[in-house]
Amino acid sequence: MATVFATVNQKGGVGKTTTAVNLAAYLAAFGKRILLIDSDPQGNASSGVGIDRDHLEKCLYDVIIGNATLDETIVPSQISGLDVVPSTPRLSGADIELVPEPDRELRLKLALTSVQDKYDLIFIDCPPSLSLLTINALVAADEVIIPIQCEYYALEGIGQLNNTLNLIKHSLNPELKIRGIILTMYNARTVLAEQVAEEARKFFGSKVFETIIPRNIRLAEAPSFGQPILFYDPGSTGAKAYEKLTKEMLDGEFAAAETQVA
């Protein structure tokens, strides 16, 4: 059964979607069967792997409100081994529509049971908020990955996120774990970036990945071409960093989970 990861941070612009897309792409390139679920109404994870959202008949919204199964919304990407459950702006209405439903936090978890045996790993890219969509992702996930931008105010809100994770763990998903913290948008020329990295390591300890994702113009450009950095510019510093991060995950505890899934 696939391990389910949620990339989450209620702050926007921290590299959350970039991380989800590029980890998914590299893992698929390494031969893993990957499903990427775009849980953000902005749909950046979908477009970031080349999915044309303007011509989709169904998306995650239809799954969440009960009009479709997850199987019916899965779209193959241009990357071998990587499938996508896309998002469209319609998904933004799900937060309101779910409010009166008694099983509102469980919709995604229940939907995943039909596809978990088909994949090695499932990534859920969460919206930049602690909404019902994010809660659905956290209830469905086994582990969370938290990107933190190496800039001022980066650690603000992490306490709130940590409280949310603890609430989810105690009430809805007792097995939920933090897989790791990823330092993103790192600028080695600034003292501030180094200070944020040090503070993150003090706060989270060994949960912080050794690999740091640098601020890189090629990483910023790739989504506009509908390509992960692996295909847009595999020789860039951003691509090398995400490849290294993927290998770090596979070489660590992540590898043990992989062996169980396989």
The pLDDT tens digits of the residues spanning 88-116 come to 999 999 988 988 888 899 999 999 999 99
- Residues (pLDDT < 70) of the chain are 252-262
Euclidean distance between the first and final Cα of the chain, in Å?
Answer: 8
Q: What is the reported pTM?
A: 0.92
Q: Residue 73 and residue 87: Cα distance in Å, rounded?
A: 10
Provide the CATH number for the domain formed by 3-261 in this structure: 3.40.50.300
Q: What is the pLDDT of residue 254?
A: 45
Q: Give the domain ranges of the chain.
A: 3-261
